[in-house]
Amino acid sequence: MTGELIVFDLGSTLVDGPEKGPAGRVVAALGLPRAAKGRLHEALMTRPFERPGEVADLLRREYGATGDQVDRQVADVWAAQEDDAVPVPGALEALAGLADGGYRFALASNIWHPYLVSARKHLGHFFDSHIPSGHQFFSYRAGCAKPSPRLLEQVLRATGVPAGSAVMVGDSHTNDVAPALALGMRAVWVLREPHREVPALVGAVNGTAPRPSLAIASIAGLTDQAIAAAFAAAPDAVDHNPNPEKSS
């Protein structure tokens, strides 16, 4: 086994789900103000909800939701999320190929409980065979979510791997690439849906945002050679001021 660590994001990197996330679906179903969506999303991603009734209680307590429909609507979204995830094409094959290469693996994902249940239906057998449970970090259990570096810091502490020997693999520049590079890790940017990442792409090209160690179009392209190329790349600088001479 090599001393190098590959840290994987889950959503939109290894599994795909519906266009509309759980917070948006709950807010729409209950007729809550649209402004509540961001706050609810953060709560779902960073609080250890294990049952839909706990989310319903939160909505009554902190969002003023009332009526019997609260429990029903939350339960409906929860149940749907337990089946929403589907593997990204080529994900399991890429994981298996890297496992044969002897790499160490970890997970660092912004996720809530029912969607993790769904993802595990497809990939849980691989995770449990190749990733110790103490190296599987999920935001709702850890109490913090990317882009905060805390989730990745927990991964590095738990695995005992120095940042320079670890690479983050994810689809989001904001949540995966930037925090990994800021910690001194390498970062592979999986650009499956580049239209979602246009501002970050422009910033990376213009030098106003950190550049990934490697960019690939699909998780199917994550081979031994790709990981080697990522580790061979020099970590990008953290400070990306487009006009450094104007800094005060």
Q: How much is the pLDDT for 3?
A: 87
Identify whether the C-beta of residue 7 lies closer than 8 Å to the C-beta of residue 169.
yes
Q: How much is the pLDDT for 246?
A: 35
Per-domain boundaries in the chain: 5-16+86-232, 22-84
Cα–Cα distance for residue pair 192/90, rounded to 1 Å: 12
Which H, E and C letters describe 84-150, residue by residue? HCEECCCHHHHHHHHHHCCCEEEEEECCCHHHHHHHHHHHHHHHHHHCCHHHEEEHHHHCCCCCCCH
pTM over 0.75: yes
Q: How much is the pLDDT for 1?
A: 62
**Three-class DSSP category at 37:** helix
Averaged pLDDT, groups of 10, the chain, 248 residues long: 90 96 97 96 98 98 94 98 98 96 96 98 97 98 98 98 97 98 97 95 95 96 97 68 37
Q: How much is the pLDDT for 234?
A: 83
Q: Which distant-in-sequence residues (6+ apart) come within 8 Å of 67 by Cβ?
A: none
Multiple choice CATH, 5-16+86-232, 3.40.50.1000, 3.40.50.300, 3.40.50.170, 3.40.50.150: 3.40.50.1000
Cα–Cα distance for residue pair 167/177, rounded to 1 Å: 9
Q: How much is the pLDDT for 43?
A: 98
With 0-12 / 13-18 / 19 or more C-beta atoms within 10 angstroms meaning exposed / middle / buried, residue 155 is buried
Cross-strand bridge partners of residue 16: 86
Q: How much is the pLDDT for 68?
A: 86
